[in-house]
Amino acid sequence: MADKPGSKALWGGRFASGPSPELVALSRSVQFDWRLAPYDLLQTQAHARVLNRAGLLADDELAAVLAAIDGLGADVDSGVAQPALEDEDVHTAVERILIERLGTTGAKLRAGRSRNDQIATDLRLYLRVQARAIAAVVVELQTALTDQALDLVDAPAPGYTHLQRAQPVSFGHELAKHVHAFARDLDRLDDWDQRTSVSPLGSGALSGSALGLDPEAVAAELGFASAAANSIDAVSDRDFAAEFLFVAAMIGVHLSRLGEEVCLWTSKEFGFAKLHDSWSTGSSIMPQKKNPDIAELARGKSGRLIGDLTGFLATLKGLPFAYNRDLQEDKEPAFDAVDTLLVLIPAVTGMIATLEFDTDRMAAGAPDGHALATEIADWLVARSVPFRDAHEIAGACVQAAEARGVQLWDLDDATLAEISPALDPTVREVLSVQGALAGRTTAGGSSPASVRAQLAALQADVEACRLWAQAGVVPGAPEWLTSR
């Protein structure tokens, strides 16, 4: 056993001996939660103001505390201030440094607070800020996809179902679909943010505070819409972390599906797109290789994002309410998800922005595999043939074309008449890729006009998301907070 915990630990009073080194090693979180220090400082400033209004901190003490925290915030930002080996967590480290710099005044700042409400507040603040940072890089990716899509609205390509050529589509349509998927993720972040805008501070360890504090004032100062309505719930609720991890995992899944398509498009077999040298890698043994590593890492990293979510859900399952030390396990998956997305998405954006598409190759593949058979069926339906029969007749055309080794538009008049009296040579007018695309005029469909309208709406949506991403979470946040 070590000596009784020194004056540095936050909880030594009732212990006769200090913690074992093994416990210290297990318990210590400052090596990863130090990144929350700016948020812990910010909430300490808000808390100090409330202590002052409650008559628990004199005006000159408040002024000294606010100035010391501004100084420490800058030192944390520059890396000058660091946690010490004996600091258990970020709260211990911040309190130790503030006492070093302020003397006894620094020791007053824990009144009415517990690490339980502190950590829940820090993590909410941190994730709300990071959600905007993630939204900002998603918006850049959406912009790259939209720019490429606008260039390729009139580029026909084979569209796939079951990874088999199905019907021709506009390649702008193909790219726009990914922008929609990410738009739903940004919508989720916005929705999540509104639910996360609740301040746990004032809950204390679990039952609130007897010191006449003002949780609503602290909440407003920290940019939260309200203070928590139930203090026991507030210190144990980590739904916001789990939900954040779900959105991060969903973004990861969307990145992985885009990544898989880039792998296919840039393969020799598809040949739809070429990777830029700066956004692809070579092989250490095969000099000719150009590999889509970014796309593959997008696919691969979705696995760890899903792991961050499922691992944390397992941590929460069966936990009794109020604080349990298990909850310390909320931070590493959350940090990992943030770090993963912030390093992955800009790379995917660069890869997408620099893809060079081979529109001739895509156009050549568009009608392949008798992909225009649906046009025959639709042509017949427009002439009052029931779709069930029209489907059969179009199928017979495919069979005849395959037997003769020709395309659908090569079938001669006699063959058409033989297949069905409902067919006549004017059916050939719809048997072109351009005609098939132009006909898909449903909003959201593949006609160039529809795709252009869709992209215009997407651009407006992306710009709205850009503004959301740029908006600050904490009103009048100090420089040492916003620089992160």
Active site (catalytic) residues: 162, 283
- State the nearest-atom distance from the C-beta of 121 to ligand ARG, in Å: 11
Burial of 217 (0-12, 13-18, 19+ CB in 10 A): middle
DSSP letter assigned to residue 291: B
> What is 158-177 written as a DSSP string?
EEEETTEEEEEEEHHHHHHH
Please give the distance of CA 437 from its chain centroid, rounded to a whole number.
33
- State the nearest-atom distance from the C-beta of 244 to ligand ARG, in Å: 16
The residues of the shown chain that bind ligand ARG, judged by CB under 6 A, are 29, 33, 89, 115-116, 119, 323, 325, 327-328
- State the nearest-atom distance from the C-beta of 88 to ligand ARG, in Å: 7
- State the nearest-atom distance from the C-beta of 89 to ligand ARG, in Å: 4
Partners of 159 in beta bridges? 167
In the bound state with ligand ARG, the residue whose beta carbon lies nearer, of 281 and 328, is 328
Strands 356-357 and 164-170: unpaired
What is the number of other CB atoms lying within 10 angstroms of the CB of residue 482? 14
Q: 288, 282, 263, 289: which is closest to 351 by C-alpha?
A: 263
- State the nearest-atom distance from the C-beta of 299 to ligand ARG, in Å: 32
In the bound state with ligand ARG, the residue whose beta carbon lies nearer, of 47 and 115, is 115
In the bound state with ligand ARG, the residue whose beta carbon lies nearer, of 133 and 205, is 205
How many angstroms separate the CA atoms of 371 and 159, rounded?
Answer: 9
Q: 304, 296, 311: which is closest to 340 by C-alpha?
A: 304
In the bound state with ligand ARG, the residue whose beta carbon lies nearer, of 20 and 78, is 20
What is the number of other CB atoms lying within 10 angstroms of the CB of residue 468? 18
> What is 8-50 written as a DSSP string?
TSSS-TT-SSPPPHHHHHHH--HHHHGGGHHHHHHHHHHHHHH
In the bound state with ligand ARG, the residue whose beta carbon lies nearer, of 115 and 299, is 115
- State the nearest-atom distance from the C-beta of 365 to ligand ARG, in Å: 55
- State the nearest-atom distance from the C-beta of 92 to ligand ARG, in Å: 8
In the bound state with ligand ARG, the residue whose beta carbon lies nearer, of 165 and 238, is 238
Backbone angles phi, psi at 222, to 5 degrees: -90, 5
Partners of 167 in beta bridges? 159
How many angstroms separate the CA atoms of 178 and 142, rounded?
Answer: 8
How many angstroms separate the CA atoms of 349 and 393, rounded?
Answer: 46
Residues 6+ apart with CB under 8 A from 400: 411, 415, 419
In the bound state with ligand ARG, the residue whose beta carbon lies nearer, of 156 and 200, is 200
How many angstroms separate the CA atoms of 89 and 372, rounded?
Answer: 65
- 334 neighbors 304 (Cβ within 8 angstroms): no
